[in-house]
Amino acid sequence: MSDSDTHASLAAAIDANWDRQVEWLKTLVGFPSLRGEEAPCQDWIAREFSARGWAVDRYTLADVQMDSLPGHSPVMDTDYRKAVQVVASVRAPHPQGRSLILQGHVDVVPTGPVEMWSSPPFAPAIRDGRLHGRGANDMKSGVCAMVFALDGLRTAGLTPAGDVYVQTVTEEESTGNGALSTLARGYRADACLIPEPTERRILRGTVGVMWFRLRLRGRPVHVSQSETGTNAILSAFGLIEALRGHTRELNERVRQDPWFGRIPNPIKFNPGKIAGGDWASSTPAWCEVDCRIAVLPGMSLASFREELTGIVMAAARQDPFLADNPPEIIWNGFQADDYVLEPGSAFEDTVRAAHRRVAGDEPGEAILPAVTDCRFYGRYYGIPSLCYGASGTGSHGFDEAVDLASIKQVTLTIASVIADWCGTRPA
């Protein structure tokens, strides 16, 4: 078949499977696959993969030794026996083409108060060509696109001439350890595509990200004598303010960076979760704040941690109680380096060509103040890795939704990437 024949038959195949694809996505979004609760979703996916005749490797993060590998992030209060990962191998007998990893995460972030959603977050609903639900955009849209790209090839009577690995991982939203585990387990390929919802742009760069917990103590007294005690919650405010000030300074320094200097204020700091105190009429004896901050590009994680520690401890010295009872900083979650996809790789050319065939124009590029799993494949294992996926809104917010037409285009683009990168044979 000529290239244009292949493209036309893939387009027809994806069209023919479309209703089934939308139903599949609805089922996938219906799983409340919050952190630690992904197993039923992953088990369903594993069965779906097996039904396609793919060899399925289902394992948990407790099965994989990876503490000492680059990119590993420490965790606490998380049971990795529940963190189920799935890798399906779609092997070409006598492979001739290049191999490819298609990877998507199925973990989703919490919904927040559900009464603020227009419809329940785990009861997917279609309105105006958009599918609504937590994870619909980020990134079950991409998981469904990569699976139905392969289904499209099969419907078109084709099979990849190189090995394809379909990976559904967890922990993308907190550590990246799911992605790391696939590499620790030995999976490799000539390229990796992660269909995160990039609005059909090539993701050129992502910042590094760190999570940490500030743990403070206070001296509790009856509130009627509050002058004689201290208040751990109010003390935490002082540390948060110092970190906000430091963030402004980091955003000044990043202006020099050739990639990340192109977007305004890429270093975001977020005190994202707070707990503390025991009683409304006692000054709080403890406070814990879970924070997320972007890492200054080009800086090692160790030096960045050292700098942050200096900022927190300097602020603590201004607080009469904390000066003698310094807070703890617990590195708990993301310890993620930045990642830049250097222009000019053969794989990027392949994705660009596929986008042009489907969309008729050149894809845009994005540099994001956020993190993806690409860093593991691209930065630590030398596997050209990029994100390219659907369009939607509300990731991590209320009323998350994905544009279904964009998923269809991305599905065809991925099918075209597989055909071009791996080559095809008659099924």
Least Å distance between CB 388 and Zn ion? 13
Least Å distance between CB 382 and Zn ion? 23
Residue (of 215, 165, 174) closest to 55 by Cα position? 165
Least Å distance between CB 145 and Zn ion? 13
Binding mask 186-225 for Zn ion (x = CB under 5 A): ----------x-----------------------------
Which one of the listed residues 38, 48, 163, 171 is annotated catalytic? Answer: 171
Is 171 part of the annotated catalytic residue set? yes
Residue (of 216, 212, 245, 101) closest to 167 by Cα position? 101
The three-class DSSP label of residue 246 is helix
* CA pair distance 210, 377, nearest whole angstrom: 19
Under 8 Å between Cβ of 172 and 77: no
Residue (of 391, 395, 416, 393) closest to 405 by Cα position? 391
Residue (of 214, 207, 217, 301) closest to 263 by Cα position? 207
Between 196 and 403, name the residue whose CB sits nearer to Zn ion: 196
Burial category of 128 from C-beta neighbours within 10 Å (exposed 0-12, middle 13-18, buried 19 and up): exposed
Binding mask 97-136 for Zn ion (x = CB under 5 A): ----------------------------------------
* Neighbour tally for 179: CB within 10 Å: 28
Between 373 and 420, name the residue whose CB sits nearer to Zn ion: 373
Binding of residue 171 to Zn ion (CB under 5 A): no
Number of residues that bind Zn ion (CB under 5 A): 3
Least Å distance between CB 370 and Zn ion? 8
For Zn ion, the binding residues in 244-303 under the rule CB under 5 A are none
Burial category of 353 from C-beta neighbours within 10 Å (exposed 0-12, middle 13-18, buried 19 and up): middle
Cα angle 304-305-310, degrees, rounded to a multiple of 5: 100
Least Å distance between CB 293 and Zn ion? 19
* CA pair distance 220, 198, nearest whole angstrom: 49
Instruction: Please spell the DSSP secondary structure of 104-136, one letter per residue.
Output: EE--B-----GGGSSS-TTS-EEETTEEESTTI
Between 284 and 394, name the residue whose CB sits nearer to Zn ion: 394
Which one of the listed residues 38, 48, 107, 257 is annotated catalytic? Answer: 107
Between 48 and 138, name the residue whose CB sits nearer to Zn ion: 138
Binding Zn ion (rule: CB under 5 A), the pick from 88, 139, 387, 418 is: 139
Amino acid of residue 168: T
Is 173 part of the annotated catalytic residue set? no
Binding Zn ion (rule: CB under 5 A), the pick from 38, 48, 107, 138 is: 138
Between 173 and 257, name the residue whose CB sits nearer to Zn ion: 173
Between 395 and 409, name the residue whose CB sits nearer to Zn ion: 395
Least Å distance between CB 302 and Zn ion? 27
Q: Footprint of Zn ion on this chain (CB under 5 A)?
A: 138-139, 196
Active site residues: 107, 171
